[in-house]
A = this chain, B = another copy of it.
Amino acid sequence: MERRPTIIDVAKAAGVSKSTVSLVLQRSPQVKEDTRIQVREAMARVGYVYNRSAANLRSASTGLIGLVINDLRNPFFTEFAASLQMKLAEEGYAVVLANINEDAEMQAKMIVALIEHGVSGFVVSPAYGAEDNTLEAIARAGLPAIQVFRKVDDRDDLFPFLAPDYQTGSRLATEHLYNRGCTQVAFVGGLADRAVTMERMSGYLEVTSQRGHEPIVITGAASHEFGVRGARDLYDNYPDVDGVLCFNDLVALGLMAGSQKLGRSIGKDLRVVGFDNIEGCLQSEPQLTSVSCGIPGFAEEISRRMLAWLNDGTPPELGGRTAVELVVRGSS
């Protein structure tokens, strides 16, 4: 097990100097085609692999992006992580992943670790809690960082915030329900004080009041179980509700299951729309109408903005929202 070959070994094998090899590595146009080929051949011959740690010591970027995710097990965030990683890989960047499990302390620790590893930038879907300080280390290191989905630090210039256009999504969904003939539409799920909940609710409130109806809001956990409970709650306390916009698909699926158990026919007696368009939407009976947040597209957008920031120094403009889409299925 001998040590890995370096550019010096390659240089020797190719009969050139190590600078030339370095130039070839960087695709410099000023090296002659002949020598370029020679060098490439030598590389293959000695089994050379580029050492980015060493390169990084001299030049700036490591080609590493830190990806901090509040809850990787949630399919919504998994989808994002997977999409972003693949997009960044296309551009030659690798992703160092930190799943922080909704733990602000863990988040702070992982951020420091990622900085030590020399990440060139951050994409953070942060945990709530300790809002003030958890991104501080990034600020001190002067690294570019984008907050996605959740905003825990208000310094927009340091940590620009980007999210899908939830408000439009909830507006579309609510209008869809009324257009289908619903007379009373409720909003179910989502913790009351969270910004995401406010946004996913805002379009609902807007349309509902526009149409002269009373809003009916039942906030709570964003879980399947809460959806089941919500079905009972509606049944007992709001029997006239014939349309529901749910905070997310998990809640919606739970609410559908719960309502069916109570004898209601989904898509007829009760129309249901979810949020996120997860795979489970296709596996329920009837299938669930949902607001798709276009996560792969969103990830691509984030990738693009991050690279622009890194390469051209252009931080993302504020207030950017990316397109969402209502996917209509049997449940409504």
The 4 A-B pairs at the shortest CB distance, nearest first, are namely A97-B97, A72-B82, A53-B56, A53-B53
Quick check: A73 and B64 within 8 Å, CB to CB? no
A116 touches B49 (CB 8 A): yes
State whether B89 touches A110 (Cβ < 8 A). yes
Compute how far the CA of A268 lies from the CA of B1 in the bound complex, rounded to whole angstroms.
Answer: 61
Residues on the B chain within 8 Å of A51, using CB: 116, 118
Does B49 contact A141, Cβ atoms closer than 8 Å? Answer: yes
| A34-90 CB contacts (< 8 Å) to partner B | 47, 49-54, 56-57, 62-64, 67, 72-73, 75, 78-79, 81-82, 85-86, 89
* Interface status of A194 (Cβ within 8 A of chain B): no
B-contacting 9-mer, from A7-15, A211-219, A253-261 = A253-261
Chain A 274-301: CB-based contact to B (< 8 A → 1; otherwise 0): 0000001011010000000000000000
- CB-based contact A253/B116 at 8 Å: no
Nearest CB of chain B from residue A174's CB, rounded to whole Å: 26
B94 and A117 form a contact (CB under 8 A)? yes
Binding site for B on A (CB under 8 A): 1, 4, 47, 49-54, 56-57, 62-64, 67, 72-73, 75, 78-79, 81-82, 85-86, 89, 92, 94-99, 101, 106, 109-110, 112-118, 140-142, 224, 253-254, 257, 261, 280, 282-283, 285
Q: How far is the CA of A86 from the CA of B117 in the complex (A)?
A: 16
A117 and B283 contact, CB distance less than 8 A: no
For A96, give its contact among B81, B95, B106, B253 (CB under 8 Å). B95
Distance between Cα atoms of A300 and B64 in the complex (Å)? 26
Known: A52-B53, A82-B101. 9 other contacts (CB 8 A): A50-B116, A51-B116, A53-B118, A63-B117, A72-B81, A73-B82, A81-B99, A94-B117, A95-B96
Bound form: Cα–Cα A140–B48 in Å: 10
Known: A1-B142, A81-B72, A94-B96. A283 touches B253 (CB 8 A): yes
